[in-house]
A and B are shown apart, each in its own frame.
Chain A
Amino acid sequence: MVTERIDEILPGAVLDRHAFRGDQTIVVGRDRFLEVIDLVYREGFQLLLDVTAVDGGQRDPRFDVVYHLLNLASQERLRIKMRVGEGEAVPSLVSRFKSADWAERETMDMFGIPFEGHPDPRRLLMWEDFPGHPLRKDFPLDGGDVFCSQDIGASYSPDARSLNV
C-alpha cells in the first residue's frame, strides 16, 4: 500500500487519510506536497488522471485541490487532497505531468486557485475578461448579469439558487 510507504519515508507528511468504498485518500500540507508527489511518482503513480477542486464554502481553508493518480503497474488508485485558502497559490505539477497543464488551467478558471509556476496561466473554458469563477459556491447558478452591458443591478432571476426550489 502506497500510503504506508509514504508514512515510512515521509513521516508527518500525511495530515489526514480515509478510505471510502475502496478509494484511498490522503490529505497533505502545501509545504510537503511536492515531496509526496515526487515519492508517489517514483512508486509508480505516473498517470495523473485529473486535477480538480472542491469549494468548501464558508469553511477555512476554503478549497480542497484534488489530484487523482493511477499506478499502471499495480492498478492502484490514489487521491491526494490539499487544503488551501482563498488566493493561496498551489505548486504547479506541469514540469512533472504534462496532463496537469490544462487540468490546472481549468481549476484556476473555475475556482480561482492560482497555480504557482504554471507556464501558461490563462483561463481555459471562460473568456479572458469573464468575471468570477463559476464553480465557486457563491457564484450564482444563472451566471449573474455578465451578459448585460448595462448595470441593471441584479441577475435576471435573483432567487434562482437552485433548480429544485
Chain B
Amino acid sequence: MSKTMAPNPTAQASDGDRMIVNMGPSHPVTHGTLHIVLELEGEIIVKATPQIGYLHRGVEKLGENLTYQQFIPLTDRLNYCSSLMNNVGYTLAVEKLLGVQDPPRSRVLRVLCSELARIGDHLVCIGINAVDIGAYTAFLYMFKERETIYDLFEMMAGQRLHSSFTRIGGLFRDIPAEFEPLCGQFLESCERTIDEMEKLLTHNPIWADRTKGVGAITPENAINWGYTGPCLRAAGVAHDLRVAQPYLDYETYQFDIAVGTTGDVYDRYLVRTEEMRQSLRIVRQCLDRLKEIGPGPVIVDDYKVALPPKEKVYTRMESLIHHFKLIMHGIEMPVGEVYSATEAANGELGFYIVSDGTKSPYRIHVRPPCFPIFSSFDEQVKGRLIADAVSVLGAMNIIAGEMDR
C-alpha cells in the first residue's frame, strides 16, 4: 500500500489517519463489476479512484471482424438494461452510412420499443438506487412493471434481455396481435406504479436527506465533464437529442423535456420520474399511430441491404443470390465515416463507424453515455460520506457493460 501511495504528497502527510476501502469489484452497490478505491479519513472520502475494465470484452475489436449485421447482438450486451435502444442506435448509424431509411411502421415501432426500454432502464435505475439507500418497497413495486416490459420485449423480439430486435433497414419482425392489449394494460398500471413510487419516495424525509444536495453539479461543470442525458438535464441544461437533433420522427411526437435545477441525486430522480411519464405519453401516441398506419412492411424492400423473405429465396433465383451475397459477403457499404447519436436512457449513445467499403467496418467506436459521467465520480464524492458515494453511484446509472465495452 505504501508503495502505491508514495508519489502522492498529501497521502504521505496524513497517511496515519487515512484508510483505504475497496468498493467492489463485486459489491452489491457497484451495479456491475466496478472497483472504486476510497481513501477515507474517518467516514469522509478524501479521494475516490474508480478503476474500470473488468468487463472489457473488446467489442470494438470484434466489430472490426464481424459484418455490420453480425454486430447487432453485441450491441445488446452494452447496456443490458435497455438493449433495444442500443440496437436502434446502432442500426441508425449503419443506415446513416448507407443512406437508407426504414419504412414508416418500423420507425414507429422503433420509437415504441425505445421508449419502453427507457422506462425499463429508469425503473431499474431508480429502484436499485432506492435499494442501495435502503428503500426496498419501491423497488419491488417497480420491478413488477419491468417484468411486464420484458414480457412485451419477448413478444416483440422473442427474447427478454438480449433482444437483437432491429435489422439494418428495419426490424426483425412485426409485433404480434397480443402485443397491443398487453401494452395498453401496461400503460395504465405503470402510471399507477409511478404514482405509488412517488408516494413512497418523493416526500419521504429519509430519501430526501440521503439525496438532496448530494452530488450537486453546476451546468458548466456538467458540460465540461461530458455529461449527457438525465444527469445533464438534472443540472439544468435542457438538452435532449430527441428534440435537439430529432431522429425517427421524434419531432412529430408530443412530449416535454424534464429539467432539474441543482443536478443532485434528488433532481436526477425527479428528472427520471418525469421522463418515464413522458415516455408513457410517447408510447400511447405510438400505439395510435400503429392503428393509423395499419399493417405494412417493417423492413426496406432492398435486397442489397435486407434479406429477402424465405418464400422468395426458395422460389426465385435472384432472391437466392441476394440471400447468398448478403450472408457470405455482407452489405456493400460506401466508403466514409459517420457519427450517429441517439438519446439512450442514460445519455447520448454514439456510434462512430469508419467504412472502407468492405463487409466489416474498418473501425467501429462506441461512445457510451455513462463513461464520461462516471469519470467525474471523484469530484462528486470528495469530502462527503461513504454513504453518499452509494447514492451518487446509483444515480449516475453506471452500466459496466457499456463503460468498458
Contacts and interface: CB of A to CB of B under 8 A. Distances in A.
Contacts, number: 100
A68 B225 contact: no
Q: How large is the interface on B (under 10, 10 to 19, 20 to 34, 35 or more residues)?
A: 35 or more
A87 B337 CA distance: 25
A54 B405 CA distance: 17
B245 interface: yes
B186 interface: no
A134 B60 CA distance: 10
Contacts of A48: 226
Contact of A21 (B96, B352, B363): B96
A118 B66 CA distance: 34
A155 to B, nearest CB: 14
Given A98-B375, A99-B375, A103-B372, A163 B53 contact: no
A52 interface: yes
Interface string A114-127: 00000000001111
Contacts of A103: 226, 371-372
B27 interface: no
Contact of A46 (B58, B61, B224): B224
B339 A23 contact: yes
B109 to A, nearest CB: 24
Interface in A21-38: 21, 23, 25
B269 to A, nearest CB: 24
Nearest to A102: B375
A105 to B, nearest CB: 9
A152 to B, nearest CB: 22
Given A98-B225, A164-B66, A21 B350 contact: no
Nearest to A130: B53
Nearest to A163: B65
Interface string B218-238: 000101111010000000010
B226 A49 contact: yes
A17 B341 CA distance: 21
A47 interface: yes
Interface in B60-79: 60-62, 65-67, 70
B350 A20 contact: no
A128 B367 CA distance: 23
A21 B336 contact: yes
Nearest to B354: A54
Contacts of A52: 352, 365
B52 A124 contact: yes
B331 to A, nearest CB: 13
B367 A163 contact: no
B336 A163 contact: no
Interface in A113-165: 124-127, 134-135, 139, 141, 143, 161-164
Interface string A96-111: 0111011100000010
Nearest to A25: B337
Contacts of B362: 54
A152 B296 CA distance: 58
Q: How large is the interface on A (under 10, 10 to 19, 20 to 34, 35 or more residues)?
A: 35 or more
B336 A20 contact: yes
A72 B337 contact: no
B372 A68 contact: no
B61 A134 contact: yes
Interface in B30-75: 52-53, 56, 58, 60-62, 65-67, 70
Contact of B65 (A47, A134, A162): A162
A58 interface: no
Contacts of B371: 102-103
Contacts of A68: 339, 350, 352, 367
A141 B65 CA distance: 8
Nearest to B376: A98
B348 A49 contact: yes
A50 B352 contact: yes
A47 B66 CA distance: 31
Interface in B347-388: 348, 350, 352, 354, 359-360, 362-363, 365, 367, 371-372, 375-376
Interface of A: 20-21, 23, 25, 46-50, 52, 54-55, 66, 68, 72, 75, 77, 79, 97-99, 101-103, 110, 124-127, 134-135, 139, 141, 143, 161-164
24 contacts: A21-B338, A25-B337, A47-B228, A49-B350, A50-B350, A54-B354, A55-B363, A68-B350, A75-B244, A79-B337, A79-B339, A98-B224, A98-B375, A99-B224, A99-B225, A102-B372, A102-B375, A103-B371, A134-B61, A141-B61, A161-B65, A163-B62, A163-B65, A163-B66
Given A20-B337, A49-B367, 9 more contacts: A20-B336, A21-B96, A21-B97, A54-B354, A55-B363, A68-B367, A98-B221, A125-B53, A125-B405
Closest 7 CB pairs of A and B: A99-B226, A125-B53, A102-B375, A20-B336, A99-B372, A50-B367, A125-B56
